[in-house]
A and B are shown apart, each in its own frame.
Chain A
Amino acid sequence: MDSANSAQLATFLQRCARAFDGWPALRESADFLRRLALSAPDPFRVAVIGRMKTGKSTLINSLIGRPLAITNVEEATATVNVISYGTAEQSRSFLAIWKSGRIESFPIERLATDWTGKSPEVLERIREVRYLQLYANDPRLAEFEVIDTPGTGSAIEAHEQVATDFTRPEAITDSIDQGRKADAIIYVITVGRESDADSLTVFGAGRLSSADPYNSVCVSHKWDGPVEEDPYAAACLRAEGTLAQLKDKVLKVLPISAPLGLAAQQAPDDFFARLLPIVASPGLLASRLRTDERWDADPARRAAREAYPLLPWSSFQMLISHFLRQPPETAVQARQACRSLSHLPELEQLLQRHFFANARVIKQCQLLKKAKDVIEPALRSLSQLGETEKKDIERAERAGRALTDPELAGWAQRQAATAEENVRRIGEVTLELDREWQVHQRHLEGLQGDLQILRHLHDPESIFSEEHHRTIRAVCERQSSSAATVEEISTLSAHCRRILRVQFDRESTSMTEHLVRRLDEAHRAARQSPTQP
């Protein structure tokens, strides 16, 4: 149903574009809608954005389960990298999509040689490329694309860093552009390294207008710094504060350690096996953990760390201190502990439940939202044009009355007729397009509202009592098998109207209003088909 709807929406956008073609002033709108319609069948896109060096690429790697995005401690991702599902064969090469429109294929090894570093050749390439298309033969990518972006940040910051660091001011715009184009957004921030207020500018300032709780999540990263009593608890506390700031923009703020998540998937068994005896006899281990030099002083400890050298020291510290508190017994246990310590499963679950399970609805919503910014002003412009034309009719009619020469009067009449025809055409076109536009919007708002209510039913503090859950499910899931009776609907509808009178929370109010609407629809449907019980 939803994919059919997506196709319908695309058809509608094409129709709008064709209609707008008739007016030169709307040419750009028409072009935009056409491009948008063409993008409708594109796969679901998740953009990972955030400031420089927040670990966006590491996060992507940990989600995919293996290093893929260009990650390097020294070099930040400088290009936009789109990562899609591909066959094993495909994944051995990558494409550079140049700004000139040319597309070129390279073996994957060239990624490290041609696209990293600060040599003039690399810089030139990065300037000339629009994005890199990478492939990963990972079933997790079958249904969506991941976009790794260069860091965003304030322009001033980028400017300051230009001398010392490898950063392009365009990288910021590139990232924000990608965020706008994406269907869902993972916004990565690092805790402690930057002021919260600063790091949230991009979201807060509304520059990423596509960000919404239903399609955005914030990941706070790199909290696994100095060993505290419980860094995760501290990070959670900070995450709550961040969420308050990002209210209306993201669904949740999750502290994650992507390096640990990656280690749990990538580190050899040997790594965990070597750690077991070390943490089994703690002794003065905690003090050895203060610096990597002290740790490496002992050959066994050093060998263990070198079994998986990719794990940053700070993450390693946290892993060991966790093991000291709860020593694992087997390597398998250790790996599992590492995974749960990364808290990556929570993010995966959240992405699965909120993004991927609803990918089609989200994608349509995004499509609609982008279309809205163009269609509505265009319809308003057209209506204004109609108003101008109406004045023309009036003027021409007055001229017709004033002119005595029959030929001139005839000319004025023709003018009036032309203007009238224009007004009529504009009226017809705008009304017809707007009506259909409202139907699309309505449909999607309905789907979103349904999702919100069905989610809300899981909430222990639900404003609806248990007895109503079945009816709510029946009208929101709209499956004929579990249709509610007219009486049930009427009762709940009356109940909701009562709730509306005493509800003091905007979110519950809008949710209840949506439910009332659904109930009214169901009531009408149930009455029109009296065969149902």
Chain B
Amino acid sequence: MPHSRIIGIDFGTHKTLVARWDEENRRPTLIRLRPASGDDMPSAVHVDAGGTLTFGEEAEQLGSRDAEGYQRAFKRDLGIHAAPYLLHTHEYSARDLSREYLRWIKALVEEESLHGPVDHAVITVPASWLPAARTELQQAAADAGFASVELLDEPVAAGMAFLKSRRDLWSEGALLVFDWGAGTLDLAVLTLADGRPQGIPDLVGGKPGLGGEDIDRHLLQSVNKRLVQLGLAKLERRAPDEIEHVRRKVTEWKLRHAAKPGAIWPLTGLPDVSPEAGLKWTSEEIGERIGDKIKEAVDACAELLERAKAKGVVPTGALLVGGSSQFPALKAALEERFPGMKLLPWDQRISAVALGAAWQAAANFAPPPAVPVVVPPPLPAAPARPPASLIIGDKVIVDVTMCHYDPNLMAPIYELGGHFGLVSETGALLVKPTWDDASEPAEGLVCVKVGKEYGYADCAGEFVVRPQWRNANRFSEGLAAVSLHGDHYFIHSTGQVAFESPLPLPSDFSEGLAAGGAIFGQKGFLDRDGNVAIPPQWEDASDFSEGVSIVTTAKQSGLIDRRGRAVTPLQWIDASRFAEGLVAVKDRKGWGYINREGRLAIPTQWTSAGLFSEGLAAVAYGGKTGYIDKLGKTVIARRWEEGSGFSEGLARVWQGGRDGFIDKTGQAIVPLQWELSLSASNVPWNFLGGFASVRLNGKTGLVNRQAEVVISPEWDCIHWSTTSDTSRHSFIVPNREVNAAGTAATFLRLIRLIPDLSGRSPKATLSALEALRTGRTGQTRALVRYLNGNLKTLWEAELPVEVIKKD
């Protein structure tokens, strides 16, 4: 098979470099565009009076005599809707010149190096470029005759070339790309995403106009100053040849002065300047002039790094790219100014962008892989247990042992053999089960654990945030709490750190505030800017909902507003959480309900009071549970031992160790024939999407609304949920196949191990657990939240894991 002709073009404002993909050696090499003198080609065009176009080096030479027909830096004007250039009497737009120049470059490399037409090209553009400029360049390239062309950001290309040559030096963390070319200084911050360099959209900086030519100009000005002092003609008034000569001299000084400290560089070759005139500069003088420009560049760097830091990105290394970044003084200046940032050594400073472009071109122009990425779900060879069915909608899905079903998303999560992947709505396997843990999707992202680290994947299984955190919560209001090395941060859905949480163990954001505070220490709230909005002062504080939060001090509970002020004095012994506008509270008379204004809506009288759902709440008195409405009127008479809230029109009730489901008239729809199933990690209490879990002989199955068994009770655990109300499952974390009793035992073990908890009396702990089991009181929400937020951490810390394993 003939090799594809693949190239990468570093189309610079002032200079162009091209690299070709070498199929045999499987790496790119630079094409020598000027066989006599170098790899690079000036990005310049000349038009003579007759309209004949000349490019590159030749255009440069013609331009020094005929400035009216000379134009360069036209790339800079792409996408900005400027008037066409007037070259002699001809008008050319930036797009025209870019097209013609690229057409010429293409012909040049095809003829000199490729010996055939280009199959695929990657052209690099500044990271700061916006869509208009990109579109225009893409069109110009297409018009120039490139059959297949794509654009790539210059710093990304440089990063890619670096990664390919020095993979050992960059395996994680952010990198600053310091690209100092002839025309501009471009700065960007790169991170690694799935092993590929990637830019961060708002971390782009630099200084247009500050480049090698500016350094030349700065030196030429110094020459001018001396010429004027000597009473000689300024450069501007001299012949083009003389100007060119001085330019070359100055460039030579610039490149060579540093190697010869103390050397003297005379300006010779001007007819009116005698060698005795003393027109000479020391290396140090030249260095000083260059130093002015280096300082400007380093300042621009500091500005970008400051912005990066504000976003929580701190590059640990810097990659120097471009012809102007070779000054030893620059390295010294950068090292001095940014001691924490290592200058990464490599030898492709000039060619990096072109080489990186060719790497990218080769990667993207490879023939499509023969093996499809998606494979059908592997069936267990010899199933230890009979396959079960899960019915979702009208589809029967076999072999799904565990499933989070999210009707809002196309990609639920399922677990197979202890690992998690994604299945489609119809049960097709989209992502192989390789994740060690996966949360339910929130705001379009799944929190995923790989090894010991957490990251976030989108619902196609693509990592949006690569696993790097020790602990991670789901996204809420655009932010997610994560932790590493005991520090807590909030990150954006791009993975960028928004800020470090000023309070430990923060919860998710709700209505712009997130609770946080030390384990059983005082809880406060932080705002979306990372400031402490309400200083820590409560033993427990619920998420804000409709402007109020339920807080608990050592003695009292009550409501606070967004400014942290008590809505009414904290007066309740205990409080649960808001549900349908009411929250159960307890005083010495028993449980009742208050509204958001803190006023008693249903007088305190019950021995227990559940959450309102679908307009009803389970309440108990005298050992019997019934249901009341929001006016406090009994709707279903008290007759059961316990009862849950209503969901999908049904509520679970139990009596004498057997449970079933009743409707809102109190009629048993699913007869009370199943084993009492406690609300443990993976067992929903109620009907969800038309199904509810039931237990028999310690194994779990599913029934539907017609009381038909759809999955026979022979599983340790079945787990699914909807996003409509995930909060009801949020309190038990370990996604392990543990039964309810096992989970409770785990808690007990943990509690003994946690110093903060061990101080509590066994009775208090047990009552907390009991409350946890029934999911009813607010007092124990601290425990619930604590376990919810920290079990993972403790688990990862392997502190309780041992204990659990021994169990």
Residues of A whose CB lies within 8 Å of any CB of B are 24-25, 27, 205-206, 376-381, 383-384, 388, 391-392, 395-396, 398-399, 401-403, 405, 407-408, 411, 415, 427, 430-431, 434-435, 437-439, 441-442, 490, 493-494, 497-506, 509-510, 516-517, 519-521, 523-524
Whether A504 and B221, one on each chain, are in contact in the complex, defined by CB atoms closer than 8 angstroms, is yes
Whether B84 and A399, one on each chain, are in contact in the complex, defined by CB atoms closer than 8 angstroms, is no
Whether B374 and A498, one on each chain, are in contact in the complex, defined by CB atoms closer than 8 angstroms, is no
Chosen A-B contacts, 10 in total, with CB atoms closer than 8 Å, are A379-B130, A380-B202, A392-B460, A399-B428, A401-B372, A402-B374, A408-B424, A431-B135, A517-B83, A524-B83
Whether B130 and A408, one on each chain, are in contact in the complex, defined by CB atoms closer than 8 angstroms, is no
> From residue 458 to 509 of chain B, which have CB atoms closer than 8 A to chain A?
458, 460, 462, 478, 492-494
Distance (whole angstroms) from the CB of B324 to the closest CB of chain A: 15
Distance (whole angstroms) from the CB of A427 to the closest CB of chain B: 7
Q: Return chain A residues, CB-CB under 8 Å to B374.
A: 398-399, 402-403
Q: Return chain B residues, CB-CB under 8 Å to A383.
A: 130-131, 134, 201
Distance (whole angstroms) from the CB of B127 to the closest CB of chain A: 8
On whether A524 and B84 interact (CB within 8 A), knowing A206-B299, A384-B201, the answer reads yes
Distance (whole angstroms) from the CB of A154 to the closest CB of chain B: 16
Distance (whole angstroms) from the CB of B288 to the closest CB of chain A: 15
On whether A24 and B478 interact (CB within 8 A), knowing A376-B130, A431-B131, the answer reads yes
In the complex formed, the residue of B with least CB distance to A377 is B202
Distance (whole angstroms) from the CB of A421 to the closest CB of chain B: 15
In the complex formed, the residue of A with least CB distance to B460 is A392
Count of chain B residues with Cβ under 8 Å from any Cβ of A? 60
Additional 8 contacts, C-beta under 8 A, given A377-B204, A435-B79: A391-B462, A399-B430, A403-B428, A430-B131, A498-B68, A501-B243, A502-B235, A506-B217
In the complex formed, the residue of A with least CB distance to B203 is A377
B228 part of interface (Cβ distance < 8 Å): no
Whether A519 and B460, one on each chain, are in contact in the complex, defined by CB atoms closer than 8 angstroms, is no
Q: Return chain B residues, CB-CB under 8 Å to A493.
A: 68, 86
Q: How many A-B residue pairs have CB under 8 A?
A: 153
Whether B70 and A506, one on each chain, are in contact in the complex, defined by CB atoms closer than 8 angstroms, is no
With A and B bound together, what is the CA distance between A503 and B235 in angstroms?
Answer: 9
Whether B63 and A501, one on each chain, are in contact in the complex, defined by CB atoms closer than 8 angstroms, is yes
With A and B bound together, what is the CA distance between A408 and B135 in angstroms?
Answer: 35
Q: Return chain A residues, CB-CB under 8 Å to B460.
A: 392, 395-396
With A and B bound together, what is the CA distance between A180 and B220 in angstroms?
Answer: 37
In the complex formed, the residue of A with least CB distance to B304 is A206
With A and B bound together, what is the CA distance between A24 and B444 in angstroms?
Answer: 11
Whether A505 and B217, one on each chain, are in contact in the complex, defined by CB atoms closer than 8 angstroms, is yes
The 7 closest A-B pairs by CB, nearest first: A377-B202, A402-B372, A380-B201, A521-B83, A494-B68, A434-B132, A430-B131
Among candidates A405, A431, A524, residue contacting B428 with C-beta atoms closer than 8 Å: A405
Whether B128 and A376, one on each chain, are in contact in the complex, defined by CB atoms closer than 8 angstroms, is yes
Distance (whole angstroms) from the CB of B262 to the closest CB of chain A: 27
0/1 interface trace, chain B 50-66, chain A, CB 8 Å (1 if under): 00000000000001100
Q: Return chain A residues, CB-CB under 8 Å to B375.
A: 402
Whether B83 and A490, one on each chain, are in contact in the complex, defined by CB atoms closer than 8 angstroms, is no
> From residue 269 to 328 of chain B, which have CB atoms closer than 8 A to chain A?
299, 302-303, 306
Q: Return chain B residues, CB-CB under 8 Å to A438.
A: 79-81, 130, 132
Whether A427 and B131, one on each chain, are in contact in the complex, defined by CB atoms closer than 8 angstroms, is yes
In the complex formed, the residue of A with least CB distance to B395 is A407
Interface of A is mostly: helix
0/1 interface trace, chain B 80-99, chain A, CB 8 Å (1 if under): 11111110010100000000
Distance (whole angstroms) from the CB of A67 to the closest CB of chain B: 37
B425 part of interface (Cβ distance < 8 Å): yes
With A and B bound together, what is the CA distance between A198 and B86 in angstroms?
Answer: 49
Whether B79 and A504, one on each chain, are in contact in the complex, defined by CB atoms closer than 8 angstroms, is no
Among candidates A431, A504, A516, residue contacting B220 with C-beta atoms closer than 8 Å: A504
With A and B bound together, what is the CA distance between A510 and B213 in angstroms?
Answer: 13
Q: Return chain A residues, CB-CB under 8 Å to B426.
A: 407-408, 411
Distance (whole angstroms) from the CB of B189 to the closest CB of chain A: 12
With A and B bound together, what is the CA distance between A306 and B734 in angstroms?
Answer: 82
> From residue 352 to 397 of chain B, which have CB atoms closer than 8 A to chain A?
368, 372-375
Q: Return chain A residues, CB-CB under 8 Å to B214.
A: 506
Whether B64 and A497, one on each chain, are in contact in the complex, defined by CB atoms closer than 8 angstroms, is no
With A and B bound together, what is the CA distance between A437 and B64 in angstroms?
Answer: 36
Whether A494 and B67, one on each chain, are in contact in the complex, defined by CB atoms closer than 8 angstroms, is yes
Interface of B is mostly: mixed
With A and B bound together, what is the CA distance between A317 and B224 in angstroms?
Answer: 46
Whether A380 and B68, one on each chain, are in contact in the complex, defined by CB atoms closer than 8 angstroms, is no
Whether B373 and A498, one on each chain, are in contact in the complex, defined by CB atoms closer than 8 angstroms, is no
B410 part of interface (Cβ distance < 8 Å): yes
Whether B428 and A25, one on each chain, are in contact in the complex, defined by CB atoms closer than 8 angstroms, is no
Q: Return chain B residues, CB-CB under 8 Å to A442.
A: 80-82
With A and B bound together, what is the CA distance between A449 and B84 in angstroms?
Answer: 18
On whether A434 and B91 interact (CB within 8 A), knowing A501-B63, A505-B221, A506-B209, the answer reads no
With A and B bound together, what is the CA distance between A46 and B601 in angstroms?
Answer: 55
Q: Return chain B residues, CB-CB under 8 Å to A391.
A: 462
With A and B bound together, what is the CA distance between A519 and B67 in angstroms?
Answer: 15
On whether A501 and B67 interact (CB within 8 A), knowing A376-B128, A434-B130, A519-B86, the answer reads yes
Distance (whole angstroms) from the CB of B155 to the closest CB of chain A: 13
On whether A517 and B131 interact (CB within 8 A), knowing A384-B201, A402-B374, the answer reads no
In the complex formed, the residue of B with least CB distance to A391 is B462
> From residue 70 to 125 of chain B, which have CB atoms closer than 8 A to chain A?
70, 79-86, 89, 91
Q: Return chain B residues, CB-CB under 8 Å to A407.
A: 426
Q: Return chain B residues, CB-CB under 8 Å to A431.
A: 131-132, 135
B236 part of interface (Cβ distance < 8 Å): yes
B443 part of interface (Cβ distance < 8 Å): yes
Q: Return chain A residues, CB-CB under 8 Å to B303.
A: 206
Whether B86 and A520, one on each chain, are in contact in the complex, defined by CB atoms closer than 8 angstroms, is yes
On whether A501 and B64 interact (CB within 8 A), knowing A376-B128, A381-B202, A506-B209, the answer reads yes
Distance (whole angstroms) from the CB of B378 to the closest CB of chain A: 15
Q: Return chain B residues, CB-CB under 8 Å to A504.
A: 217, 220-221, 224, 235-236
Distance (whole angstroms) from the CB of A417 to the closest CB of chain B: 13
In the complex formed, the residue of B with least CB distance to A383 is B131
Q: Return chain A residues, CB-CB under 8 Å to B82.
A: 442, 517, 520
Among candidates B70, B220, B306, residue contacting A497 with C-beta atoms closer than 8 Å: B70
With A and B bound together, what is the CA distance between A51 and B172 in angstroms?
Answer: 42
Q: Return chain B residues, CB-CB under 8 Å to A516.
A: 85
Distance (whole angstroms) from the CB of A197 to the closest CB of chain B: 14
Whether B84 and A381, one on each chain, are in contact in the complex, defined by CB atoms closer than 8 angstroms, is no
Among candidates B83, B236, B373, residue contacting A503 with C-beta atoms closer than 8 Å: B236
In the complex formed, the residue of A with least CB distance to B492 is A25
Q: Which of B86, B235, B299, B430 is packed against the most chain A CB atoms within 10 Å?
A: B86
In the complex formed, the residue of A with least CB distance to B64 is A501
With A and B bound together, what is the CA distance between A442 and B77 in angstroms?
Answer: 11
With A and B bound together, what is the CA distance between A497 and B44 in angstroms?
Answer: 14
Among candidates B86, B128, B425, residue contacting A411 with C-beta atoms closer than 8 Å: B425
Whether A497 and B201, one on each chain, are in contact in the complex, defined by CB atoms closer than 8 angstroms, is no
Distance (whole angstroms) from the CB of A505 to the closest CB of chain B: 6
Whether B68 and A497, one on each chain, are in contact in the complex, defined by CB atoms closer than 8 angstroms, is yes
Whether B478 and A408, one on each chain, are in contact in the complex, defined by CB atoms closer than 8 angstroms, is no
Q: Return chain B residues, CB-CB under 8 Å to A498.
A: 67-68
On whether A25 and B81 interact (CB within 8 A), knowing A381-B202, A502-B243, the answer reads no
